[in-house]
Amino acid sequence: MRKTSSKLRQSPYSTPKHKSRCLVPANSFAEYAPEPNPETEKKDVVWFALNENRPLFTFAGIWTEYRSDRGTK
């Protein structure tokens, strides 16, 4: 592992919980199928939603602040 002191390597659980929690809004999400498609030999993308109307729901999330050493271009 390189740069073990990097903020990306620090655990998000090391900060107080109330400061790093968030809700991520979504109306659907996708995952790869567990097994490859026999015809293409690639894993298909499977979409999930609550129902046909795709109402808004939220995922629980944990965020951390990241500042690049390189800056912007």
* Mean pLDDT within 52-58: 95
Range of the domain at 23: 17-62
For residue 3, tell me if it sits in a domain.
no
Q: What's the total number of domains in the chain?
A: 1
Q: What pLDDT shows up at residue 64? A: 81
**Band of the pLDDT at 63, cuts 50, 70, 90?**
confident
Residue 52, in any domain of the structure? yes
| Domain annotation covers residue 57 | yes
* pLDDT exceeds 90 at position 68: no
* 7 part of a folded domain: no
User: Is residue 71, in this structure, part of any structural domain at all?
Assistant: no
Instruction: Provide the pLDDT for residue 20.
Output: 83
Distance CA 22, CA 30 (A): 20
State residue 65's pLDDT score: 79
pTM: 0.54
- Pairwise pLDDT comparison (32 vs 5), residue with the higher score: 32
For residue 12, being part of any structural domain is answered with no
Average pLDDT over residues 10-36: 81
72 within a domain of the structure (yes/no): no
How far is 57 from 16, CA to CA, in rounded Å? Answer: 25
